[in-house]
Amino acid sequence: MSTTPIPLTRDYAQQLDANDPLASYRDEFYLLPSIYMDGNSLGLMSKRAEQTLQDLVDSWKQLGIEGWTKGKHPWFFLSEKLGQMSAPLVGADPEEVIVTGSTTINLHQVAATFYRPEGKKTKIIATDLDFPTDIYALQSQIRLKGLNPDEHLILVSSRDGRMIEEEDIIAAMTEEVALIVLPTVLYRSGQLLDIERLTRAAHEKGILIGFDGCHSVGAIPHEFSKWEVDFAYWCNYKYVNAGPGGVGSIYVNRKHFGTLPGLAGWYSSKKDKQFDMELTLTVCETAGAYQTGTPHIFSVAPLIGSLEMFQEVTVEKLREKSLKMTRYLMDLIESELAGMGFSLANPVEDERRGGHVSLEHEEAVRISRALKEAGIIPDFRAPNILRLAPVAFYTTYEEVWESVQILKSIMLARTYEKFENKRGVVA
């Protein structure tokens, strides 16, 4: 961690806030009475997102079916427009990103498209620390090909239960592997994988590789096109603040344009051919091909306002502040919570760390509930992880400072002991 001792006072935190060039964006969001440290699960609502949702409601009210092609945000072209706006978040060309579907459906789409088992090349690589939905979807895709997931899904094991070594993933890249699907950031520990290195290694072995960007997009800049990542998919309701159940996104490298989507629908068509109603699909030669059906207009709408702010600030500046905030949080934890049974589960190096800090503690469930009672909203992940995510758009350094002080007081007073050692239905 930091080699220079930091002041542990509220005044110092307030000084950091006074010098924060992004501080004004906090006023763009509807803040809660509690200190919100769970933006890595669901971002807060912005006033612009609310406005663009209302704009789309009004377009339906005022235009009826004409809203598909008229108004401020014509619905027929909205997924493509938002793909263009999203492309800078992942370092992609505008045509390489489309806003559509959900995380799991989008994984099914890219796996159905790019998982083509043939001969002895039949296996998929993932890891045993992946978010479960990815594993379920990959198992399903293997079964749909008439194969056994127990034999054809390779789960690279973590050495310590927290992180995955890139060397272990590369070692698993044998001639039997057809596809690799990995997280950009591990959801529990916040480890950021070396995407460029892994993509290069996969391609050297003739393997297609894609990434789940749910825990990085909007918080960490990527260069998917430059690194020649084959595909990626992510949700937009975490760091991108698109709202609960907000529509997800797919990136497909342009070298795959024209490939018939595994799950085709009429929105896979070229836009100018879609309403010809032909029974032979004319595949769109952009990432738009990986849509299936009609976009969910009201679920897409908040993303318009949210992405406007990303265009103004840039994800690079958000990452700079995020790294400073998580570094500050880790330094406070090291200073204030020593000897209280906590251990950091996330990497401490900036280049290996995502947007949240992960704390392990055997009483994590009860501590999480005590924090909520005390006015701090954290995130719990089984079996023993507290995730704390200061979000660059709206979290202050003073809130980071106060969160650690409240956590310290909970531990000293042992107030967590009054809670049952059982997580809620939604953790």
Q: Using H for helix, E for strand and C for coil, what is the string for 114-183?
A: HCCCECCECEEEEECCCCHHHHHHHHHHHHHCCCCHHHHEEEECCCCCCCCCHHHHHHCCCCCEEEEEEE
Sole residue written with tokens 């990432």 = 287
Q: Output the six-digit token pair for 324.
A: 């400073």
Q: Output the six-digit token pair for 56.
A: 């789309």
Q: Is 4 annotated as a binding residue?
A: no
Under DSSP, is residue 124 helix (H, G, I), strand (E, B) or coil? Answer: strand
Contact call for residues 100 and 81 (beta carbons, < 8 A): no
Q: Is 132 annotated as a binding residue?
A: yes
Order of strands, sheet of 97-99, starting from the edge strand that comes earlier in the sequence: 97-99, 249-252, 231-234, 208-212, 177-183, 123-127, 153-156
Q: Is 160 annotated as a binding residue?
A: no
Sole residue written with tokens 């004004």 = 24
- CA–CA distance, 269 with 115 (Å, rounded to integer): 21
Q: Is 356 annotated as a binding residue?
A: no
Contact call for residues 2 and 324 (beta carbons, < 8 A): no
Q: Is 212 annotated as a binding residue?
A: yes
Q: Is 133 annotated as a binding residue?
A: yes
Q: Is 134 annotated as a binding residue?
A: yes
Backbone angles phi, psi at 201, to 5 degrees: -65, -40
- CA–CA distance, 405 with 108 (Å, rounded to integer): 44
Contact call for residues 97 and 86 (beta carbons, < 8 A): yes
Contact call for residues 342 and 361 (beta carbons, < 8 A): yes
- Give the 3-state secondary structure percentages of the chain, helix then strand then coil, rounded to 5: 45, 15, 40
Q: Is 310 annotated as a binding residue?
A: no
Q: Is 419 annotated as a binding residue?
A: no
Q: Is 286 annotated as a binding residue?
A: no
Contact call for residues 205 and 272 (beta carbons, < 8 A): no
Question: Strand 379-381 and strand 343-344: pairing?
Answer: unpaired
Sole residue written with tokens 């612009």 = 48
Q: Is 27 annotated as a binding residue?
A: no
Under DSSP, is residue 66 helix (H, G, I), strand (E, B) or coil? Answer: helix
Q: Would you list which residues are annotated within the binding site?
A: 103-104, 131-134, 212, 215, 237, 266, 294
Q: Would you list which residues are annotated within the binding site for pyridoxal 5'-phosphate?
A: 103-104, 131-134, 212, 215, 237, 266, 294
